[in-house]
Chains A and B, each alone.
Chain A
Amino acid sequence: MQISIQGIGPFGCFGAGKEDLEALLMGTRVVPPEVTRIKMEEGIVEIPLLKAKISKIEDFFSRKKLRRIDRFSTMALLGASLAISDAGLSPGELEDMGIIIATGYGASGTTFSFLDSFLDKGDKLSAPTHFSNSVHNAAAAHISCLLGIKGPSLTVSQFDLSVPSAFLTALNWLEEERVSSVLVGAVDEYNPVIGYARADMVSDDPNPGIAGEGGCFFVLSRKDLDNTPGYANLVSVAMVHPDRTAIQFKNQPVIADSQRHDSGCRELDYPCFSYDSLYGQFPTASGLDLATACLALKNRSMFNPPGGTTSTHGHMFRGVPKSILCLRSGANKLWGTITLEFQNQQIPA
């Protein structure tokens, strides 16, 4: 069964939508990080941040509809709306669609707001709206309610492997014909606590990267039911231990996080690209790697990574990409891989 990516909805420091992401990747839009400061006992902790711009949400929903929805879910709603619009789907086509959301941290900002409510005012005055919005699957619920999606709904959370995990189940649902299309989303938000925790985690890393936030949503459809042109075919999703199961690199470009290159993969025999210095590092930034792969396959050309070379590490790559492997590593030396393939019948430019 062929699975096609029919729409993408990227959002982050660059803005929202494929045009904004493409401008970032082409270098026509430059987004410098802002420096956030956290006052602590040991002094001021400075954290460079590529913060998401999400004002475009007002193109889709009124402020009134969003008034009880937190920032995490608003980001997810933006990505979902962009992807559905990009796929050209009408409301009537969403009823039986599935939703799968991948998030590394969930609505952590709202969780801390909930803790504030009872730490400040006592347990009896805990804020119910913060509690209900802090639940990991609240974003999927808001999408379902506001967009009228009533198929299966799933949220997964396992840090950097959240996105491969979500795509694994999306592929499964489509292959077992549980659904004919799935909205798969990657989303993570920044807040000072996460920033402080991240700063501690990367304190010994010579290349700590820049913290970011954002994500991307995708509309996946079965090609036998929807033959309209898409960005790429979703060929395979795997979660493997590379020391136990060999990953087949078929002379294709690989998009991975920059930390992967610096942790011993430079010697691997494949041309490797990394773009997260443009949109920042966060657990589900691999969603933006996938969006980048979709645009590269559509354009039939890899984007030059930051620095202007023809690959970040490994072999040089100058040809036309026929397939792209997106790679993330997680806990327990487990790798998640997602392979996309050029689609003959491509979406019009």
Chain B
Amino acid sequence: MIKPTKKTVITGIGCLSGAGDTLSENMNSLFNNVRNLAPPSAFTTNHVMKFPVFEVSCPLEETTDKADAELTRTTRLALTATREAMAQSRLLNRDYSSSIIGVCIGTSTGSSLNSIPFYDDFRSHRSPDMSPVHCYFNSNPAACIAKWYGFNGPVQTIVNACSSGTDAIGIASSWIEQDLCDIVIAGGADELSRVTYNGFISLMITDHEPSRPFDVTRKGLNLGEGAGIMVLESEEHALTNGRTSLGSILGYGMACDGHHLVTPHPKGRGLRKAIKQALTFSKISKEEIVFVNAHGTGTFDNDLVESKVLADLLPGIPFGSTKGYTGHTLGAAGALEAAFTVACLNAKRMPPSIGFREKAKDMPFAPVTQVMALKGNVAISQSLAFGGNNSVLVVEGKGV
């Protein structure tokens, strides 16, 4: 591993989920046991049993130029969270030409042409309205954010399923460290749709009750939607421009299981490797980690594997899942959770893992069940994904 030339600091955070329209509203829900779960309102299905979801209800950014095609909801979620993050870092309404600003965004559904009305007309040989196709070509999330603000750096849209948001932040951080960019807008976004709703129900990993990550009675996940965006910047560039650091990305690790398309390796082979790599890149010892924001979906396999790996590699370090508050937001999840992790470090407390009541016999230890004070400034946020991806970020708060 070569020494990075620059350190990555966070100068702005934007979050949007079923738990709130801003980072501060999300944290308020996390620390007050609030969860806004309801049957989907944005689409209808003919499932007899309704599976509840976490929807975003606030107005989203939208194009005002009538010559432009419409934007997908995923991209509008990303743009809305980007505005909050950029406002915090005082980057709105600036001349961006003097800095190299990249965009790295993770998504899952945001890069798929899956409009049901368009496809239903097409397969019925009716001449379909092409506006969903134009919307799709106009809405690549990273390209759209770069175009919206006129940024001039590299652009990458990551489609790594549920680890996309974590990967986008990790890769964006390496762009800073390797001096490819001064600033990177990084994170993830995903919208709820009938397609993913049906997909997860068909896999029989969705719960019709509020999810219960790590609990003995867990039956699956609840889907959600949202976006988490960070303004990442080299420490030197932030200092020169008078921006305050909210925290840092210290390290990023990533490894695939090479085991199964939808099931994690039973011994967490890839996750172990990713955690070790993230710690190596961050140059810290595991004793400095004060908590782990786990993937914790509430599915049987994920939670079992994840808890065993954490007990083995990071014994005694408190952990929890925030998916009980937001649902599983797929490509946005890793970015939202990294943002929550930094916010927890700065608030010096972590929320309870909502939905958990009783530990299963084969699980080595339980998640946090009450608000817990944190004595330290470094934590881990991790994601496991379809395809056997495992991605881990080591993040630092702003300190005293």
Residues of B within 8 A of A (CB-CB), count: 74
Within 54-109 of B, Cβ neighbours of A (below 8 Å) are at 97, 108
Instruction: Provide the residues of chain A in CB contact with B199, threshold 8 Å.
Output: 114, 126, 128, 131-132, 134
Q: Is the CB of A137 within 8 A of B389?
A: yes
Classify the interface of chain B: helix, strand, loop or mixed: mixed
Chain B residue at minimum C-beta to C-beta distance from A148: B258
Whether B256 pairs with A153 at a CB distance below 8 angstroms is yes
Report the stretch among A26-34, A213-221, A329-337 that lies at the interface: A329-337
Which residue, A99, A134, A165, A175, has most C-beta atoms of chain B within 10 A?
A: A165
A263 to B158, CA, bound (A): 28
B128-139 to A contact mask, C-beta < 8 Å, 1/0 = 001001000100
Q: Which chain B residues lie closer than 8 Å to A144 at the CB level? A: 256-258, 387-388
B204 nearest CB neighbor, chain A only = A128
Q: Is B270 an interface residue (CB 8 A)?
A: yes
The verdict on A123 contacting B256 (CB below 8 Å), with A331-B147, A334-B146 known, is no
B window 96-124: CB within 8 A of A: 97, 108, 111-114, 116, 119-120, 122-123
Across-interface contacts of A132 in B (CB, < 8 A): 199, 203, 261-262, 386
Known contacts A40-B127, A150-B270; is-contact A175 B178 (Cβ 8 Å):
yes
Cβ of A239 to closest chain B Cβ, rounded Å: 4
Q: How far is the CB of B122 from chain A (nearest CB, A)?
A: 6
B119's partner among A106, A115, A172 (CB-CB below 8 A) is A115
CA distance A30 to B55 in the complex (A): 54
Give the residue of B140, B157, B269, B386 whose beta carbon is less than 8 angstroms from that of A137: B386
When distances are taken between beta carbons in the complex, the residues of chain B under 8 Å from A127 are 202
Question: What is the size, in residues, of chain A's interface with B at 8 Å between Cβ atoms?
Answer: 73
Task: List B contacts of A123 (CB < 8 A).
Answer: 45-47, 194, 198, 201
- Residues of chain B touching chain A, judged by Cβ–Cβ distance below 8 Å, are 1-2, 4, 45-48, 97, 108, 111-114, 116, 119-120, 122-123, 125-127, 130, 133, 137, 140, 142-143, 146-147, 152-161, 167, 171, 174-175, 177-178, 180, 194-195, 198-204, 254-262, 269-270, 273, 277, 281, 385-389
A–B Cβ pairs within 8 angstroms, 23 of them: A40-B126, A40-B127, A111-B195, A112-B119, A114-B195, A115-B119, A115-B195, A119-B120, A123-B201, A128-B204, A131-B202, A132-B262, A134-B199, A144-B388, A148-B258, A150-B255, A157-B111, A158-B140, A158-B156, A172-B171, A176-B4, A245-B152, A334-B143
